[in-house]
């Protein structure tokens, strides 16, 4: 196996920052976890107290000299910066330090690229990478010409070559987007073919490493990859869950969120995130054993807002209760409805199933339908999925008053545009 590069992590701590809930230290610790996930060997971390990043080098020039000494002393070959660097900062740092420099976004993209298994996930990652790479192209070219043997800082390609390259990247991005669209419409088609009324679906969402995949495995006795690494899951996996009431619904495991989630990933993972947007409810999983649980909840809520999924009803599932401290209950009180579980120890699952059923029960609605005799399929569906309160077969029409789950009702109406009125 190749020996991992000696890596230096660096962050800036703004002493005037308003929020102390998520400090530069918390952030760099998370960066270290990301680095570990990418199999890097972190040998040093540096936090500089500074109000704003240095325009040219991100860190101050004095700090830069200290870093040079560290690099020489510890044989460091890679530096990771805990914020997104501008392309010119990235270039200036590499030139000055003479080692490879990447930023948090670059590292996350790298982890996504390693973990992408399906064709769709691979395309989505490539799209995000090209989006990230495009403005940094000059830098890339300097590297290439360096490899060409000219030594550090030799000429880059001519402007013309760069333009050609940028155009090629844009063309490739457009082609990937087209392919992703195709995959998406194919998936919709399959779903519609499979069922007359799509089943009720819940998406399992939350911060990375919260235990989403473990929860899906426990609830549905399946075997999705779950491990102590960040972003283990990139592809949405859907499994059927049978409730104690014998109703079946679908649960989808999704990609995790993180602080400073790169915007390139949010936009290129649109198809994957759509599984969340289209869900009827969300199970928001939280690592209750993590000291920053509340910050993670808020960060995940922000991402849900960003992808416009914040209106979907959610159940807060406080997981890893086998390792959680006392304070978690006070935090949980702020987020309702909530349940406490351990997906690993299989505790609290009854409460979770109850919460899902309560939530379904609470969203019942009573509707009156006036159908004609060509719409017997709707009559059958109402019998199958609802509770019939009244039914009259008249000459021209069939009158049905039924109690239905709101979600099912919506789906029946959408599919069959049956004339109906809400019952008084």
Out of 27, 129, 142, 209, point to the residue binding ligand GTP (CB under 6 A). Answer: 209
Instruction: Tell the residue number behind the tokens 């610790």, with chain if given.
Output: 29
Give 227 or 390: the residue with its C-beta nearer to ligand GTP: 227
- Shortest Cβ 102–ligand GTP spacing (Å): 20
**91 touches which of Mg ion, ligand GTP, none (CB within 5 to 8 A by kind)?**
none
- Shortest Cβ 342–ligand GTP spacing (Å): 4
- Rounded CA gap, 357 and 82, in Å? 42
Q: Is the dihedral of CA 354, 356, 358, 364 positive or negative?
A: negative
- Rounded CA gap, 404 and 385, in Å? 7
Query: What is the side-by-side strand order in the sheet with 78-81?
Result: 41-49, 6-13, 78-81, 100-103
CB 296 within 8 A of CB 328: no
**314 touches which of Mg ion, ligand GTP, none (CB within 5 to 8 A by kind)?**
none
Give 99 or 309: the residue with its C-beta nearer to ligand GTP: 309
Site string for ligand GTP, 301-340 (x = CB under 6 A): ------------------xx-xx-----------------
Instruction: Tell the residue number behind the tokens 């300097």, with chain if given.
Output: 142
Which residue of the chain is nearest Mg ion when measured via CB?
A: 233
Q: Hey, which residues between 198 and 257 contact Mg ion (CB under 5 A)?
A: 212-213, 232-233
- Shortest Cβ 205–ligand GTP spacing (Å): 9
Give 139 or 212: the residue with its C-beta nearer to Mg ion: 212
Give 314 or 319: the residue with its C-beta nearer to ligand GTP: 319
- Shortest Cβ 114–ligand GTP spacing (Å): 12
Q: How many residues bind ligand GTP (CB under 6 A)?
A: 24
Q: Hey, which residues between 213 and 232 contact ligand GTP (CB under 6 A)?
A: 213-214, 226-232
Instruction: Tell the residue number behind the tokens 């969120």, with chain if given.
Output: 257
Give 36 or 385: the residue with its C-beta nearer to ligand GTP: 36
- Rounded CA gap, 270 and 184, in Å? 10
Give 233 or 319: the residue with its C-beta nearer to Mg ion: 233
- Shortest Cβ 218–Mg ion spacing (Å): 13
Which residue of the chain is nearest ligand GTP when measured via CB?
A: 256
Q: Does 200 bind ligand GTP (CB under 6 A)?
A: no
- Crossing angle of helices 270-277 and 159-194, in 10° steps, is 30
Q: Hey, which residues between 4 and 63 contact ligand GTP (CB under 6 A)?
A: none
- Shortest Cβ 210–ligand GTP spacing (Å): 4
Out of 212, 338, 360, 420, point to the residue binding ligand GTP (CB under 6 A). Answer: 212
The neighbour count for residue 353, using CB atoms within 10 Å, is 17
Q: How many residues bind Mg ion (CB under 5 A)?
A: 4
Give 42 or 111: the residue with its C-beta nearer to Mg ion: 111
- Shortest Cβ 191–Mg ion spacing (Å): 22
**Binding stretches for Mg ion (CB under 5 A):** 212-213, 232-233
Positions in the binding site for ligand GTP (CB under 6 A)? 208-214, 226-233, 256, 319-320, 322-323, 342-345
């Amino acid at each position: 196996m190749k020996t991992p590069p000696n890596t230096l992590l660096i962050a800036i701590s703004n002493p005037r920052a308003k929020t102390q809930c998520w400090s530069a230290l918390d952030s760099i610790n998370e960066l270290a976890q990301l680095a570990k996930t990418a199999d890097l060997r972190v040998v040093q971390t540096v936090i500089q107290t500074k109000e704003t990043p240095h325009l040219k080098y991100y860190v101050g020039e004095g700090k830069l000299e200290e870093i040079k000494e560290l690099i020489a002393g510890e044989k460091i070959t890679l530096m990771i910066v805990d914020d997104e660097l501008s392309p010119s900062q990235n270039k200036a740092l590499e030139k000055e330090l003479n080692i490879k420099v990447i930023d948090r976004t670059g590292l996350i993209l790298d982890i996504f690229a390693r973990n992408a298994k399906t064709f769709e996930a691979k395309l989505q990652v490539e799209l995000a990478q090209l989006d990230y790479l495009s403005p940094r192209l000059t830098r890339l070219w300097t590297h290439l010409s360096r490899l060409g043997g000219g030594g550090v800082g030799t000429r880059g390609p001519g402007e013309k070559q760069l333009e050609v390259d940028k155009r090629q990247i844009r063309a490739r991005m457009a082609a990937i987007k087209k392919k992703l669209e195709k995959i998406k419409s194919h998936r919709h088609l399959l779903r519609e073919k499979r069922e007359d009324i799509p089943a009720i679906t819940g998406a399992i969402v939350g911060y990375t490493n919260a235990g989403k995949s473990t929860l899906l495995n426990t609830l549905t006795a399946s075997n999705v990859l779950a491990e102590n690494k960040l972003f283990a899951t990139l592809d949405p996996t859907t499994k059927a869950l049978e409730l104690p009431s014998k109703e079946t619904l679908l649960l989808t495991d999704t990609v995790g969120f993180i602080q400073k989630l790169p915007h390139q990933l949010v936009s290129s993972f649109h198809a994957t995130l759509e599984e969340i947007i289209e869900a009827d409810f969300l199970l928001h999983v939280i690592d209750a054993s993590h000291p920053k649980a509340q910050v993670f909840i808020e960060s995940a809520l922000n991402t849900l807002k960003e992808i416009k999924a914040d209106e979907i009803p959610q159940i807060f599932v406080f997981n890893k209760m086998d390792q959680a401290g006392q304070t978690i209950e006070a935090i949980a009180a702020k987020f309702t409805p909530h349940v406490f579980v351990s997906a690993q120890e299989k505790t609290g699952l009854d409460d979770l199933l109850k919460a899902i059923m309560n939530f379904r029960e609470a969203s019942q609605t009573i509707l009156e339908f006036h159908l004609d005799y060509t719409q017997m399929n709707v009559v059958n569906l109402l019998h199958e999925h609802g509770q019939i309160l009244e039914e009259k077969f008249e000459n021209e029409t069939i009158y049905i008053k039924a109690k239905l789950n709101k979600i099912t009702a919506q789906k029946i109406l959408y599919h069959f545009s049956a004339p109906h009125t809400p019952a008084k």
